[in-house]
Amino acid sequence: MKIDLTGKNILITGGAGDGLGQGICEAVHVAGGRVVISDLDIDMTRKIAGRYEGALAVAGDVSNDKTWPACSGKLKRISEYCTDL
């Protein structure tokens, strides 16, 4: 089954963590989606985002309401949301 995420902004929370989060980032990238990573560890988030052309890194805790404006303020829209919590 092939998934096409071309033109979609996919927000992955916990995307800088080991294993599943990074795997989700890779899968989104392979499917053509724009990787948008939100994680508490901004240095690692930037490192992971640097692997993918056009990716965004956003520091934040998704349980904090202040994180959402930081994500949406950099994008016109978030197409999908995936969490690795």
Q: Is residue 20 part of a domain?
A: yes
Contact 48, 37 (CB under 8 A): yes
Indicate which CATH number applies to the domain containing 53: 3.40.50.720
Contact 52, 76 (CB under 8 A): no
Q: Is residue 57 part of a domain?
A: yes
pTM for this model (two decimals): 0.81
Nearest-CA neighbor of 37 among 66, 2, 62, 6?
62
Task: Write the pLDDT tens digit of every residue in 41-67.
Answer: 889 999 999 999 999 998 877 777 766
Assign 74 a pLDDT band (cuts: 50, 70, 90).
low
Q: Which domain holds residue 79?
A: 9-83
Total number of domains constituting the chain: 1
